[in-house]
Chains A and B, each alone.
Chain A
Amino acid sequence: YLLCASGDFVKVYSVSTEETLSLMGGHADLVTGIQLNPHNHMQLYSSSLDGTIKLWDFMDGIPIKTFSVGSKLLALYTLTSAEDSVFVVIPKKGERDTFQLVSVKLTKGAGQDLESKEVSVVLDGVGASMKHIAFGREGAYVVSVKDVNLQVYFFKRKLLNRFSLSKIKTKGGDNHFSCVVCHPTEDCIATGHADGKIRLWRNFHHKKEYTYSTLHWHHDIVMDLAFSVEGTRLLSGGVESVLVQWHNESSCQKDFLPRLGAPIEYISMSSDGALCCTLHTDNRITIINSNLRFSRSIQGLIKSRDVKTGLVVDPRTKALVLNGEPGHLQFYSLQSDQQLFSLDIVQRQYIHEAGLKQSDLVKVAFSARGTWLATVEESEEVADPELQLKLWFYHEEAQSFVLNTRINTPHDNHITDMCFRDMDELGDDSLILVTAGRDCVFKVWVMVEDSDPEAQQSVSWSCDFVGSYHNYQATNCCFSEDGSLLAVSFEETVTVWDSLTWDLKCTFCHPPGNIRKICFGRLTCSKYLIGATDYGFLCCWNLLTCALEWSAHLNVVVLQPDPLSEHIAAVSWLSKESSLFVFKPNEPRPIYIQKNLCKEKILLATFVPRDEPETISSEKYLWLRKSQLFFLTDTQELMTLSTKALEERLTPSSKQLAVEESLPVTPFSLLLGKHRRQQAQEDTDLGKPVVLTKQEQASPAVKELLHTPAHVLPSASFLCTIFINSLLISKENKSAEEVADEVEMESEKAEDDSDEEDVTAMEQEDTSHMELLGEMTCKLSKSQEKELRRIRKMDYSWISAF
């Protein structure tokens, strides 16, 4: 098993199948550290910022005990020698940004919730990160690093030694410590440094005659280190996305596992030494064999440095498409929380180095049926971007996109927007691509038959029309639903063009302020054009009368029409909270308002069509019938609005919550905890919450079958029934077990939920901005449970299919 802390949860993954086996929730805040109980390897301690330590049975996902310590816990350590106490890092009272390592005596008691206030300070002035403290061989000493200082405390002798490196950056090096680990059997400490050096300290019980040797391969900060179980190998990883294995502490013998995709954040070894796993900054766990071969990876939504492409839905797979690895486009399945595939757009080797100008993907557009994909990539240079427009055709046989046309420098400056003319019924011939650029023009691209008989492909794309308006920068472009009109915004003005003749039909303007977003209404509201300006106005123009229909004062950051209905979602950003408004263009009154959607700024939103329309009883969620709304915040969390809250699955006593954060999709974006940092005062780094255990599961009958020599086995027809029977029995057992679990979990949930405020009670027809909602704690639990349920369902189906 692979255990990992993810947000407020602890996830249990199967090492062999990469599946999420269980999800343990119960902490009210970020889980900062998890450690296996050294006396019982089926139990797990977890610590959280909410000041509690929980003991879990992770096989069943049941909390056994809860110890409340009182202050924020930033890291957790356990020791075999320490019988009934654990070590945690807590902030020092009265001083900001000072932390101390304390040992907490876990009180023994009968109840589930226990108080453990018996705290004794071990070390003062430690680093807040989990990586800054390590316990030595058999718990004989503890090492802590901070800045350029290293301190070692020997428990038996009560001796504290401090060593410090020179602060001066010699030869461009930076001596700051980044992580520390201890050799499992010898008195040796390995420390990683900001300049990429690894120092191996020995003889550190002498104040003066201590000594260290240096290993240097990394060119940038060493993010994490791990010793193998027997201590002969040392693994190190950093921003280069290369895992380095050092043998026998020698600088000459080393092995590499390169191209891991993203900078390595944590490294963890399994207790039997057979596997190690690395955790990457882009939200992925890689499991690696002991012979340094890539084994498998667990990944959800890849966290990219910057989602420039926006959230786009692939019409073919209904997958969410956005920036993935640098230069790649990821297709992310919302249903299965999995990456479907990653398309290499830039097709260039990505080199990790600060200050290097990289090319990255900035715009993506799909044609209506998903047969064409247009991408724009540009280099990071501000003054003279190197632009490339690429058009990809979906190849049915290859089941992948194939590059059709590459256009170098389609515009002289950054491309601000791009859209296809969406016309389902007319087929590919009418396909038109419009790009708007900061070079004050928009360009229309059409497909042309290739006259060259030698050419491998029959069509290619070329520019058909270049339009401009008073030499203003074109900022947005958008086609009306029937494809007859093209709206292009030029700074303060929206221009509407006839897509057949490319004549300027009319212009709209709502000064002051540039147009931020525009979109056409759909279905019954297709005569309306909606625009949002910088100065906080949302305007709706009637295209028939060429007049302003209505306008509202709202600082809109996201404007997203639903492709299947006439609803338009607008997300505003006001005084550090995002609010959602859903309206129809034909009436100025919103049909749905959700204030205080989340604390983070929502950058992007999209409607994802549902496979089948959902039956929604509640009036106010009718707009969610055909599609689901997803948001991406600036911390790259993906959220959704759920109507499922109305399902009465839980015990009646539990209160319902209208808005739920959907599964935070990526265990690691949460694990990295960046979104929490804004809230939490302390700059807390999350722990290294990865522990591996391995368990073999096999039905005894199957085992017997496999282990008996073939020549003594009875005939296959005889065995078949036994084999099938054994499987059937196991299924029954399993389901029974799981049902029990479920019940237990549900009761748990009920308890947790009962102390929450009733948020759904609010009435939402009032448009006043002043309505204050109760503080909404992030509730991931229910959706998580849904997820869990779904996995179980899948499990069943698999078994029955068998």
Chain B
Amino acid sequence: IGCEDGSVKIFQVVPGGIQFERNLDRRKGRVLCLSWHPSGTHIVAGSIDFFRVIDVTSGQTVQRIMVNHQAEKAKRECVVWAIALLSSGTVVSADSFGRVQFWHWEQGTLAESHTISTSAALSLAVSEKEDSIVVGTSTGATYQLQLLPVRLGGLEKRWVRTKPFQFHSHDVRAVAHSPTALISGGLDAQLVIRPLMEKVQKKGYDAVLRKFTFPHRRLVSCARKARLLLFQFSQYLELWRLGSTEETGKDGEVLPLCQMPEHLVQLKSKGPEHIYCSCVSPCGTWVGYSTASRFQLYRVRCDGDGVSLRKVPKVPKLLPPAYQLQFSADSESLFAASARGSVHVFQLLEPGGCKHLHTLQPPSGCSEAVYLLAPSADGHWLAAVSGDWAIHIYNLKCFKHHCVVPTYDCAVSALAIHPSTNNLVIAYSDQQLVEFSIPEKQYTSWSRAVQSRGLHRTWLERDSPITHITFNPKNPAHILLHDTYLLCILDKSLPLPDDSALLMNQSALKQLPETARKRQLHAFKICKKFQPLLFMDLLDENCLVVVERPIMDFKTQLPLPVQQKKFGT
């Protein structure tokens, strides 16, 4: 760990934590970036105007190189924002002058210097083979540098700036280099995966540019019965009461509200920690959240107009805290997903108490934390997904492990248990959908049919994974799914579309006559009206709540991007 005071501290990673080992040679000047030599013998630390190479075993600084001797006239300080130490002993530095420089640290000489941008170069990452580097700059552009032979078949190689990409509007703070893609994350709250086409062997999920704006997690929870919505922000929670209407209207009409939506309460978390997960109970009287170190539970009371929030005392301490919180359907118990595959079950007591009831654990043991939970509506079952993508199903009546869903080689992005049939519907990140019958401990026939038939190509090529699944109590054949860009009603009673059919056929269907429409119908009914879609849930039989977060809302909160002259303006 590099510190502001110029020291570099070495910690040992021990099971269950880290342990301070020793201080390396301390010099004046903030340490802004660090990089290990692949063999672990040296550390290079970047500061303002210089970087230094530290021998790990002796703790001594073995080389100190000034980076701004060329630009000294400018009298500006040159901040080394990112640094990398290659196995060949070459130090790559990215500085605030927009330069990427290659140094032989042993001789202290500059091998190559590439001015890639007029603004600062902020981040860099080296590929595993050390033949390619990706650099992020404060203009939002990322550049690739490649080590290419100067002559065909010759041994001499040189770094050449090759591909520029401009996907961000603001600083690119972090970059990563995977074997087949360049990954960059910026201040504009976007994560971009840019595939390297020459490294991708076949067309597939990897070969397409991916852009992510929202985390693939549920940030909104809904109290169905109380018609409350809980929004999770990084430092606080907001509880809103939904408005309602008594009128009905045609498709596309905006109905007048008889009761306006109401901001009930804002709950700020203490300390600098970000809120990791949150949940509101279906009855709307309990709110729980967890940060990286603490787990809190609150009791919400709505007396007429006033809303009071009371912290539940003596909440059992969880170590480590919860990764996912979920209230049971009857709001009588709370499930907290925890490390090592365990799920803690708490009993909620009136008028404001909480008791640890049981800890569920997979029989074979698990090293990964649970990150998704799904209780059944009848309170009988609980499905938990851990980081190794295994789905364990527990019987809540006897707190016993029931079964394991056959493991699929992909992350689970959402799952839910059907209220009437107790079928578990699972959405994977590769867009596959699976239905698993908990009582029968096997896939349902519909699920097998889907697997044999395969899903529509357009569906499989979508960008963002399904983040939430819910059901229509009126029609058990309906499954409601949504991701960031679409909301979909999956009707199991209808045939699956084949690749030749149009997946998004709602508008086309409207124009067809009744008989033709019947023939064209298929299982997927997709609505793309709300984008980007954060949350969707069915409140009751004829009321659906959809949460949309316009990108412009937070784009306007961002600082101004670096001014750039654009030709023709």
Contact = CB atoms under 8 A, between A and B. Distances in A.
A, B bound: yes
Interface of A: 137, 140-141, 154, 185-187, 200, 202-203, 205-206, 208-214, 219, 249-250, 252-253
B98 interface: yes
* Closest 3 A/B residue pairs (Cβ): A252-B115, A211-B162, A209-B198
A219 B146 contact: no
B116 A252 contact: yes
B151 A186 contact: yes
A203 B148 contact: yes
A202 B152 contact: no
A187 B117 contact: no
B28 interface: no
B118 interface: yes
A187 B98 contact: no
Contacts of A252: 98, 115-118
Given A186-B151, A205-B152, A208-B198, A213 B160 contact: yes
B63 to A, nearest CB: 26
A527 to B, nearest CB: 62
Contacts of B162: 202, 211-213
B164 A213 contact: yes
Nearest to A140: B152
Interface string B142-163: 0000101111100000001111
Contacts of A154: 152
A209 B199 CA distance: 8
B555 interface: no
B148 A250 contact: no
A219 B567 contact: yes
Contacts of A213: 160-164
Contact of A187 (B114, B151, B199): B151
A187 B198 contact: no
Contacts of A202: 146, 148, 160, 162
Contacts of A137: 151
Contacts of A209: 198-199
Nearest to A196: B567
A200 B148 CA distance: 13
Nearest to B200: A208
B264 to A, nearest CB: 48
Nearest to A186: B150
5 contacts: A202-B160, A210-B198, A214-B164, A249-B160, A253-B115
Interface in B474-527: none
A253 B99 CA distance: 12
A138 to B, nearest CB: 10
Nearest to A205: B152
Contacts, number: 53
B115 A250 contact: yes
A213 B148 CA distance: 12
B149 A211 contact: no
A562 to B, nearest CB: 53
A206 B148 CA distance: 11
A250 B198 contact: no
Contacts of B118: 252
Contacts of A212: 162-163
Q: Which of B117, B146, B148, B568 has the most CB of A within 10 A?
A: B148
Given A210-B198, A211-B162, A252-B115, A187 B152 contact: yes
Nearest to A209: B198
Given A219-B567, A252-B116, A211 B150 contact: no
Contacts of A185: 151
B152 A250 contact: no
A767 B381 CA distance: 113
A200 B160 CA distance: 10
A253 B151 CA distance: 24
Given A202-B160, A213-B160, A250-B116, 13 more contacts: A137-B151, A141-B152, A186-B151, A202-B148, A202-B162, A203-B148, A203-B149, A209-B199, A213-B161, A219-B567, A249-B160, A250-B161, A252-B98
Contacts of A186: 150-151
B152 A211 contact: no
B145 to A, nearest CB: 9
Contacts of A187: 149-152
B148 A211 contact: yes
A211 B115 contact: no
B478 to A, nearest CB: 41
Nearest to B568: A219
B346 to A, nearest CB: 56
Contacts of A214: 164
Contacts of B152: 140-141, 154, 187, 205
Nearest to B154: A187
Contacts of B198: 206, 208-211
B353 to A, nearest CB: 62
Contacts of B568: 219
Contacts of B163: 211-213
Contacts of B98: 252
A46 B546 CA distance: 76
A33 B280 CA distance: 81
A205 B150 CA distance: 12
A252 B143 CA distance: 13
A252 B98 CA distance: 10
Contacts of B160: 200, 202, 211, 213, 249
B317 to A, nearest CB: 55
A137 B149 CA distance: 14
A213 B144 CA distance: 9
Contacts of A200: 160
Contacts of A211: 146, 148, 160, 162-163, 198
Nearest to B164: A214
A214 to B, nearest CB: 7
Nearest to A202: B148
A249 B114 CA distance: 10
Interface in B89-129: 98, 114-118
B198 to A, nearest CB: 5
Contacts of B199: 209
A507 to B, nearest CB: 55
Contacts of B150: 186-187
Nearest to A200: B160
A186 B149 CA distance: 9
Interface string B388-407: 00000000000000000000
A210 B163 CA distance: 11
Nearest to B151: A187
B308 to A, nearest CB: 57
A250 B114 contact: yes
A258 to B, nearest CB: 16
Interface string B240-262: 00000000000000000000000
A252 B568 CA distance: 19
A176 to B, nearest CB: 20
Contacts of B115: 250, 252-253
Nearest to A219: B567
Nearest to A210: B198
B537 to A, nearest CB: 40
Contacts of A140: 152
A110 to B, nearest CB: 41
Residue in B116, B146, B151, B567 with the greatest tally of chain A CB atoms within 10 Å: B151
Nearest to A216: B567
Interface in B157-204: 160-164, 198-199
Nearest to B201: A208
Give the residue among A154, A203, A211, A219 with the most B Cβ atoms within 10 A. Answer: A211
Nearest to A213: B162
B196 to A, nearest CB: 9
Contacts of B117: 252
B115 to A, nearest CB: 4
A115 to B, nearest CB: 37
B133 to A, nearest CB: 13
Contacts of A249: 160-161
Contacts of B161: 213, 249-250
A206 B162 CA distance: 15
Contacts of A219: 567-568
